[in-house]
């Protein structure tokens, strides 16, 4: 059936800057903010925006992501015409198949999937951003301006602009120039990696780009500059709400800390629910001597010690006399009696042994940063893991 707009979610990247946290899983399936995984945000945004067909392009370590998405039921995407589809690279009959060699190539390889829905427009999303956005409004702007491509942009500081794709616009917000990571930015409007394309035009651009041997098959580096160069009408769509890239340990930790206050992003919003596939557990239990301050705690947790300024996912255990400060504990993490976890991220099902000490408070120098333990690690009793450490699954600590 013909659709006005379908979404393609780029979820194949390794997320190498999350190191131990993405050793065995794709970045979009990294737990976030207590109840969620990163991919819940784009999927919920799609469902809330009335986009009921979503292709999820996977490549790197997709197993957990596949089982997490399942039939899409938690996001109400289990519909009869459309729904959520996992799209891994595949082989063809007469030609050699290949891995996705870039973001544009990933979409190119799935042209046949998109054609099944014969959409007027295609929304391109990435799986590493935390935000609430009504894509229907962006689509309206795209259609009203008769744009070939609409790029969601946000105002950033000039310092940040040097690390992002920067748009210069005219008085109608039509894009006049696009620069990837400019040394001297001419504008402060940064691309959020959210694009709506007219499908016919995108398809032509993808095919042309695929035939260019010098192209790196990337939206930011090739497709967008080429379309702009060809004189296509391209619109910048200004977004003013909360939006964070969580591609690095520091940004992931920062964004988790943002969840402690509702004035950054309100996840209590019944008009825009962010849904997740979370296990059903009994309510969390706070023991007799538990102390929980300025923190979020999720079902299934059992807290006997102290928790301050922290984000606890489901089924986290904090033992007696243990302290958790300024930290992010992913589902099933255990902090045994007397252990201290501060300024740290603890991966899923990792056990911090009795009396161990993970991370350290900032000491005022620039070298400080968050200590990270990957998933499924057992940290020995009494072990000390310093600030900025990165512990991988399989390491003995």
Which residues of the shown chain bind other proteins in the complex (CB under 8 A)? Answer: 33-35, 73-74, 259-260, 262, 267-268, 273-276, 278, 280-299, 302, 307, 311-313
Q: Of 222 and 310, which has the nearer Cβ to other proteins? A: 310
Smallest distance from the beta carbon of 321 to other proteins, in angstroms?
A: 15
3-state SS class at 346? strand
347 contacts 330 by C-beta, under 8 angstroms: yes
Q: Tell me how far, at minimum, the Cβ of 207 lies from other proteins, in Å.
A: 40
Cα–Cα distance, 339 to 317 (Å, whole number): 12
Minimum distance of other proteins from residue 301's CB (angstroms): 9
Rank residues 138 and 307 by Cβ distance to other proteins and give the closer one.
307
The CB-of-71 to other proteins minimum distance in angstroms stands at: 11
Burial string for 271-280 (b: 16+ CB within 10 Å, else e) reads eeebbbbbee
Tokens of 356: 């161990």
- Cβ-based nearer residue to other proteins, 185 or 331: 331
d(C-alpha 300, C-alpha 302), whole Å: 7
Separation in Å, CA 200 to CA 78, 219, 275: 27, 16, 32
CB of 108 to other proteins, least distance (A): 35
**Which is closer to other proteins, CB of 121 or CB of 276?**
276
- Among 203, 174, 198, which Cα is nearest to 187's? 174
CB closer to other proteins, 201 vs 291: 291
Q: Sheet of 317-318: strands edge to edge? A: 302-303, 317-318, 334-335, 351-352, 378-379
Q: How far is the CB of 39 from other proteins (least distance, A)?
A: 15
Q: With contact defined as beta carbons under 8 Å apart, do 152 and 192 qualify?
A: yes
Which helix (H) or strand (E) element contains residue 94? none
> Which CB sits closer to other proteins, 230 or 293?
293
If residue 52 lies in a helix (H) or strand (E), which one and from where to where? Answer: none
């Amino acid at each position: 059936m013909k659709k006005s707009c379908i979404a393609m979610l780029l979820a194949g990247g390794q997320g190498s800057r999350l190191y131990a946290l993405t050793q065995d899983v794709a970045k979009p399936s990294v737990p976030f903010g207590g109840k969620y995984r990163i991919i819940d945000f784009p999927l919920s945004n799609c469902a809330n925006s009335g986009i009921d067909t979503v292709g999820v392009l996977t490549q790197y370590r997709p197993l957990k992501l596949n089982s997490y998405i399942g039939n899409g039921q938690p996001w109400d995407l289990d519909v009869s015409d459309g729904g959520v589809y996992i799209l891994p690279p595949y082989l063809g009959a007469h030609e050699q198949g290949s891995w996705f060699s870039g973001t544009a190539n990933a979409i190119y390889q799935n042209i046949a999937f998109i054609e099944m829905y014969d959409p007027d427009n295609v929304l391109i999303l990435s799986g590493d951003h935390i935000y609430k956005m009504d894509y229907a409004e962006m689509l309206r702007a795209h259609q009203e301006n008769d744009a070939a491509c609409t790029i969601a942009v946000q105002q950033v500081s000039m310092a940040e602009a040097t690390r992002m794709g920067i748009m210069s616009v005219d008085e109608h917000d039509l894009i006049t120039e696009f620069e990837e990571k400019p040394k001297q930015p001419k504008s402060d409007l940064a691309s959020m990696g959210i694009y709506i394309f007219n499908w016919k035009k995108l398809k032509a651009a993808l095919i042309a780009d695929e035939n260019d041997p010098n192209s790196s098959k990337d939206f930011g580096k090739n497709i967008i500059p080429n379309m702009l160069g060809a004189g296509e009408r391209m619109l910048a769509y200004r977004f003013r709400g909360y939006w964070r890239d969580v591609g690095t340990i520091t940004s992931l930790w920062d964004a988790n800390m943002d969840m402690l206050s509702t004035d950054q992003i309100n996840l209590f919003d019944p008009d825009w629910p962010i849904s997740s596939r979370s296990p059903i557990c009994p309510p969390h239990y706070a023991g007799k001597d538990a102390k929980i301050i300025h923190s979020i705690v999720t079902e299934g947790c059992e807290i006997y010690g102290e928790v301050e300024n922290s984000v606890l996912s489901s089924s986290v255990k904090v033992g007696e006399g243990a302290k958790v400060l300024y930290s992010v504990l992913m589902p099933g993490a255990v902090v045994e009696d007397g252990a201290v976890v501060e300024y740290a991220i603890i991966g899923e099902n990792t056990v911090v042994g009795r009396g161990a000490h993970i991370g350290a408070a900032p000491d005022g120098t620039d070298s400080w940063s968050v200590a990270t333990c990957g998933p499924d690690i057992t940290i020995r009793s009494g072990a000390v893991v310093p600030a900025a450490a990165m512990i991988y699954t399989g390491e003995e600590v």
